Structure 1
Amino acid sequence: MELFQQLNQAAIIRGALIAALALVLIGLSQKVIPLIADRLSGRQRLYTLATVPLIRLVIILAALWMIISIIVDPTTENIFALLGALGLALGFAFKDYVGSLIAGIVTLYELPYRIGDWVSVEGVYGEVKSIGMRAFEILTPDDTVVVIPHLKLWGEKIFNANDGSRHLQCAAKFYLHPEHDPRQVIQALEDTAMTSAYLQISKPVTIVASEGLWATEYRVKAYPVDPSDQFRFTTDLTLRGKQALMALGMRFPAPGVPDSGDGA
């Protein structure tokens, strides 16, 4: 039983044409689908963008199957023998890589992260910019691109700050000397948040206070209009909130005195 067919010039040309056509289709899908997604909104847009890696996988598998059928004598025994050998080789040589590919397929259905989500993986926080078959890329606030394999999905905690929506909660912290009027502080911080240009007014503003050994901690929890505004929003709350508290004559913990620790 012969496994491989005799290759001639025509077979090589057909294989090259199939590979070229696959590359063209992959390129078109990566350009056309995002254009279609831009015309949609909400979860429809996110689900449409999530089909890009799936379509790429289908095209690659179809092209490989067609090329294999040119190289290998297409009998049932030969196909199963080849697939078995390939599976065994890939299982040993590319265990982690294959695991990442499988995890990439799982992400298409479970959607633990999508393009535009703000996620944290092993202490790395940033916006998901692209999702490939093996890995996804996030852009950190320091403008650094980090490539994270989908394999992390199996054993690591993935924190998703907005989970496919435009609602991302921010928190600005303030530490005050314990001797003060909390009603004045809460009112000043609420006014600060409500007058921010970045505030998403449809979401609530919450003030959380906790008492520490050396200071009282206040956290202003609110939502920016867009998740990408989170750092400008937090900075705006921090600076204007501090100005408002200083105008009230509030005292801050003395330099060198430990803060209140982790608040509840």
Structure 2
Amino acid sequence: MDTEQLTGLFRRMTPAMLAEVAVVLAVAVLLAWLIQTLLPWLAGRLHGRRRHWVLALIPTLRILVVAVAIGWIVTLLIEPSLRNMVAILGAVGLALGFALKDYVSSLFAGVVAAYERPYRPGDWIEVDGCYGEVRRIGLRALTMVTPDDTVVLVPHLKLWTELIRNANNGGASLLCVASFYLAPEHDAHGVRRVLHDVALSSPFIKLSRPVVVVMEDHPWGSRYRIKAYPMDPRQQFQFVTDLTARGKAALQSMPVQFAQVEAMASSRDSNAG
């Protein structure tokens, strides 16, 4: 396609046409902002399935607004004949396909995520080794805040290639684990009772959920884990710290010894050999 043919694709620009393009862009931006602002506000006042359906509409409606705006502007700038439309859309589609394939994939993954709900605002998830709370789900990516208060943007494209671990899956219950490592000679039943009492006396404990103390035997000694739930998922780190500190103090008052680092290291080396 030479320069003369390319020029013939476009209409003659007029002030009225430019004004209409500007209005279309302004309306599209305004509608996208309203969708992103009003629908989360409405979802916050709904419960159950209705809330999830309203949240799921956000990326769908934003893609619809963008598509309509682009189609409208194209019909304003280009003479709407079959030859012109095939030529220009073919060239633009080929260029965008190579340049924005990851972006477009993230957009479609965002729509899939809106309906399958592998993560929701308030969920604690781990993606590609990064763990944090989902604060916002956008059209292309989600915003996650780590325990160190670092904001991480995760593209929805990860949905196709990465394992996504969801700790609470939209609920208010999140399992926490506190570990203790003891030398072999000790009263296992007594240790389990003490650690169970430590969990039940925590100010962060969610008593409506079960408390379990599990034990694993190793050549260097025993590993005990308290599995319990805090009242709020955001209290998980204070909860584990409280369990660890008070559990260690309780065990120190018993006739037990903690496992030595050297014994644990030598055991791992022998297993590796």
- TM-score over 0.5 (shorter chain): yes
Taking a change above 3 Å as real, the CA distance of residues 22 and 203 of structure 1, as seen in their structure-2 partners, is same
Distance 1:44 1:230 in 2: 29
Aligned partners of 1:8 and 1:97: how far apart in 2? 33
Per the normalisation by structure 2, the TM-score is 0.87
Give secondary structure in 1 for the equivalent of 2:263. coil
> Matches of 1:199 and 1:43 in 2, distance apart?
28
Pairing partner for 2:175 from 166, 169, 173: 169
Q: Does 1:28 align with 2:38?
A: no
Following the alignment from structure 1 to structure 2, what is the Cα–Cα distance between the partners of residues 47 and 199? 32
Structure in which a larger fraction of residues adopt helix: 2
Counterpart residue number, 2:57: 51
Q: 1:76 to 1:112 in 2, by over 3 A?
A: farther
- For residues 180-203 of structure 1, the C-alpha deviation after alignment (integer angstroms, 9 at most, x for no partner) is 111111111111112222222222
C-alpha offsets along residues 70-129 of structure 1, whole Å, 9 cap, x if unaligned?
112234444344333222111122222222222222212222222221111111111112
Contact 1:33 1:48 in 2 (8 A): yes
CA offsets 1:22-53 (integer angstroms, 9 cap, x no match)? 11122222221222122123454344334322
Q: Secondary structure at the match of 1:239?
A: helix
Query: In the alignment, is the contact (CA less than 8 A) between 2:127 and 2:163 conserved in 1?
Result: yes
- Structure 2 unaligned residues grouped into runs of 5+: 269-273
SS at match of 1:133: coil
Q: 1:203 to 1:172 in 2, by over 3 A?
A: same
Contact 2:55/2:114, CA 8 A, preserved across alignment: no
Q: Does 1:222 align with 2:228?
A: yes
Give SS of 1:196's match.
coil
Query: Residues of 2 paired with 1:254 and 1:88: CA distance?
Result: 63
Of the structure 1 ranges 25-34 and 41-50, higher mean CA displacement relative to structure 2 is found in: 41-50
**5 Å matches for 1:76-95?**
76-95=82-101
2:212 paired residue among 203, 206, 210: 206
Q: Which residue of 1 aligns with 2:271?
A: none
> Aligned equivalents of 1:26 and 1:200: distance in 2?
40
* Larger radius of gyration between Structure 1 and Structure 2: 2
Distance 1:241 1:41 in 2: 39
Match among 186, 207, 217 for residue 192 of structure 2: 186
**How high is the sequence identity, in percent, across the aligned residues?**
47
Instruction: Look up the equivalent residue of 1:230 and give its one-letter code.
Output: Q
Does residue 18 (structure 1) correspond to residue 34 (structure 2)? The answer is no
Q: Which runs of 5+ in 1 are unaligned?
A: none
Query: Equivalents in 2 of 1:179, 1:165: separation in Å?
Result: 41
Alpha-carbon distance between aligned partners in 2 of 1:143 and 1:224, rounded to the nearest angstrom: 20
Q: How many angstroms does 1:239 deviate by?
A: 1.0
Change (3 A) 1:127 1:215: same
What is the CA–CA distance in structure 2 between the aligned matches of 1:16 and 1:99, rounded to whole Å? 28
Q: Which moved more, 1:44-53 or 1:153-162?
A: 44-53
SS of the residue 1:228 aligns to: helix
**Could you tell me whether the CA contact under 8 Å between 1:49 and 1:115 is conserved in 2?**
no
4+ residue runs of structure 1 moved beyond 6 angstroms?
Answer: none
Q: Contact between 1:176 and 1:252, CA under 8 Å: does it hold in 2?
A: yes
Q: Distance in 1 between matches of 2:49 and 2:185?
A: 48
Distance of 1:66 and 1:146 partners within structure 2:
35
TM-score (norm 1): 0.90
Report the residue type matching 2:62 in the other structure: R
User: 1:187-222 CA distances to partner (integer Å, 9 max, x unpaired)?
Assistant: 111111122222222221111110011120011111
Give the letter for the 1:52 counterpart. I
Cα distance in structure 2, aligned partners of 1:242 and 1:20: 61
Of stretches 117-126 and 196-205 in structure 1, the one that deviates more from structure 2 is: 196-205
1:39 is matched with which residue? 45
Question: What is the alpha-carbon root mean square deviation over aligned residues?
Answer: 2.1
State the Cα distance separating 1:15 from its structure 2 match: 0.9
The 8 Å contact of residues 42 and 165 in structure 1, kept in 2 or not, is answered as no
Measure the CA separation in 1 of the matches of 2:113 and 2:250.
45
